[in-house]
Amino acid sequence: MAGLQNSVTIVGNVTDDPELRFTPSGLPVVNFTVAVNSRVKKGDQWEDRNDGFFRCSCWRDMAENVAESLQKGTRVMVIGRLQEQKWEDNDGGKRSRIEIQVDEVGPTLRWATASVQKSQRSSGGGFGGGQGASPGGTSWGAPAAEPAAGGASWGAPAPVGGAADDEGGF
């Protein structure tokens, strides 16, 4: 059960509308950031604490579903795997960031309601409606979206189009 060793679950609010893009081979990918906050009691008062901003990536059918379903401010639960992205910026400096490769995402129903509709699209075989499937339908993970050399900054969305964006690997 090696996959259980790198599992993360977060609950927070989407900070901006998810950004849907396509790799050169036509594979849909969406990126969004989730702000996670907690409340702590200080004496008689409650205080909000920012626990962090977490960049998330979804692929294939899930990417299109997320782009159609979530928007800025939506409270979501995200389950996925941590993955490090590495690239060189325009000045030749080595850059990296940790992001969540999303396996499951949806709105929380603690303070809201949702109406769920089954999606009609399907991009191929594999478990979960095609999300994470390789052309042979046997891969369980999503391909790594390695930012291309081009000066992506820590707060900017990762450019799509590097060799790791092909459909064959993690």
- State the residue range of the domain holding 74: 2-165
Number of domains present in the structure of the chain: 1
The pLDDT value given to residue 112 = 86
Confidence of residue 114 (pLDDT cuts 50, 70, 90): confident
Handedness of CA 146, 29, 9, 52 (dihedral sign): positive
- In-domain check, residue 107: yes
For residue range 17-72, what is the model confidence (pLDDT) as tens digits? 999 999 999 999 999 999 998 888 888 998 888 889 999 999 999 999 999 999 99
What pTM did the predictor assign?
Answer: 0.65
For residue range 1-29, what is the model confidence (pLDDT) as tens digits? 455 678 999 999 999 999 999 999 999 99
Residue type at 102?
V
Domain containing 36 — which CATH number? 2.40.50.140
The pLDDT value given to residue 50 = 85
- In a 10 Å sphere around its CB, with 0-12 CB exposed, 13-18 middle and 19+ buried, how is residue 25 labelled? exposed
What span, in angstroms and rounded, lies between the C-alpha atoms of 45 and 101?
Answer: 36
- In-domain check, residue 170: no
